Amino acid sequence: MPRMPQWLETAVFYEIYPQSFQDTDGDGVGDLQGIIRRLDYVKDLGCTALWLNPCFASPFLDAGYDVSDYLQIAPRYGTNGDAKRLFEEAHRRGLRVLLDLVPGHTSWEHPWFKASMQAEKNEYTDRYIWTDCIWEEPAGCASLRGISPRDGSCAVNFFTHQPALNYGFLHPEKPWQQPMDGPGPLATREAMRDVMRFWLDLGCDGFRVDMAGSLVKGDPEGKGTVALWRDFRAFLDREYPDAALVSEWGEPDKSLQGGFHMDFLLPWGPTHYNDLFRCASPFFAGKGDASVFVEKYWASYEKTEKKGLICIPSGNHDMDRLARFIQGDSLKIAFAFLLSMPGAPFIYYGDEIGMRYVEGLVSVEGGYGRTGSRSPMQWDESENAGFSSAPKEKLYIPQDPSPDRPTAAAQCGDPASLRSEIRRQIAVRKTHPALQSRGEIRFVSDGAPGTPLSYERTAEGERVLVALNPADEARFCPLTGNVRKTLYQLGEAPAAEGGRLRLAPRSAAWLLLGESQ
């Protein structure tokens, strides 16, 4: 594992979807100046770092995950100068900034792709994965065909308009498949290093890496992709040793080997993350079962030799809003979990005020069902909830129309609000190493039906017992030490009864323990 930048150990992230955070020029789309204007809000919440979704030039058929110029801020968000200012203003406040690196594909409008479509061989012929003949398709993925003078089909990585960049094949079998160290793949690698250099030189602190596990093809076990990322990490260690890397990979045993500092827990695949937050009966809504999640998390944790650098997000631009499934005190208990787990927590903008999933929105920029989670931030009671001065119908993504929609202003002024609760939780996390990214975890009670979710976190000789009961009835879990101090409590206080801890209905507690009993 690479050396972790110190700031990452204590980081609490805030994810900003730039389109929808704060518009300052009245065009109905958020912008970088808007983010700068709201940095104090993020800092006041207690967050220490930002992850910005892609803000580069793009035709926006996938919210900017379809980059047409890696080195240019999209004009609708501002200029590269604004980005520089954003980094400086963030740093002045002690906040770090991760940009979103999309190394797996570009937009089909990227000049590299346009050049690679040409029949004549040129510098970009091998930048993407093309078969030799239009009648042959790359196996295992969709392709773009019949759009170019070049005779061939081009592999796509995600949507049809996102051709896959060529990092090579682990075991090439066809003449058009290049090895990872072929000239085309090596040139792609160098181009992506240049992209990283450019933004790190301008002042960003690292990257959240999109679809990080998908780069090398014909590589089901990820061996080639791990090797590729080790090489990228070696480059960063030489030139930018403090640059942080967080992966959207979902297999921490692989991504940490590849040199990532942390990996996201994904809502799809085998994680059972959705059992907790997004299903018919989520655990945090009080009636579900967390035990399969715990089992899967533990397996993953053990595979990373208990490094536990698995980031659990409250949500993100791809998931339904948390508040679609969980409300009221249950949301506060869900955050008492998110903010006491190993790895850096990520709060999706607006989740801290319980912003709702806006039902029935028409897709914008390839959002489809995701659009309801991407509506503009609700700042206050003014026009467009303080998001933009544009006429309401000009907002790029419509807002939650409910008269009782939550706002940041109202919640900042209310000590009983969700935001105030999260602010308290973050403050406690920040002062206790056991609760931070690298503190170890041991589950005490796995949240199977009839039981609470409870775990011990330990670091630097400190032990904290976290006990969470979102159910409507009292629950019991083993008490694993003498309670020295209650660090945080929501609802009625827990009570020691024999060797057990009684947790009141809808309550949460973080307890500092003394010696084992």
Binding site for ligand GLC (CB under 6 A): 62-63, 65, 102, 158, 210-211, 248, 317-318
Which single residue brings its beta carbon nearest to ligand GLC?
Answer: 65
Rank residues 318 and 351 by Cβ distance to ligand GLC and give the closer one: 318
C-alpha 216/C-alpha 249 separation (Å) is 13
Nearer to ligand GLC (CB atom), residue 232 or residue 455: 232
Least distance from ligand GLC to the Cβ atom of residue 3, Å: 27
Which of 509, 508, 506 has the alpha carbon at shortest distance from 287?
506
CB of 328: closest distance to ligand GLC in angstroms?
29
Q: How far apart are CA 56 and CA 346, in angstroms?
A: 22
Nearer to ligand GLC, 319 or 509 (CB): 319
Q: Which residue has the tokens 């049809």?
A: 160
Element (H, E) at 207: strand 206-209
- 277 versus 348: smaller Cβ distance to ligand GLC: 348
Least distance to ligand GLC, CB of residue 373, Å: 11
CB of 320 to ligand GLC, least distance (A): 14
Burial class (CB in 10 A: 0-12, 13-18, 19+), 225: buried
Q: What is the 3-state secondary structure (H, E, C) of 318-340?
A: CCCCHHHCCCHHHHHHHHHHHCC
Nearer to ligand GLC, 34 or 163 (CB): 163
HEC-encoded secondary structure of 364-409: CCCCHHHHHHCCCCCCCCCHHHHCCCCCHHHCCCCCCCCCCCCCHH
Nearer to ligand GLC, 50 or 512 (CB): 50
What one-letter code names the amino acid at 205? D
Rounded to the nearest whole angstrom, what is the least distance from the CB of residue 166 to ligand GLC in the complex?
17
* Nearer residue to ligand GLC within complex by CB, 135 or 368: 368
Nearest approach, Cβ of 63 to ligand GLC (angstroms)? Answer: 6
Q: Identify the H or E element spanning 14.
A: strand 13-16
Tell me how far, at minimum, the Cβ of 264 lies from ligand GLC, in Å: 9
d(CA 109, CA 252): 33
Task: Compute φ and ψ for 212, nearest 5 degrees.
Answer: -60, -25
Place of tokens 């690196």: 101
CB of 62: closest distance to ligand GLC in angstroms? 5
User: Measured from the CB atom, is 254 or 429 closer to ligand GLC?
Assistant: 254
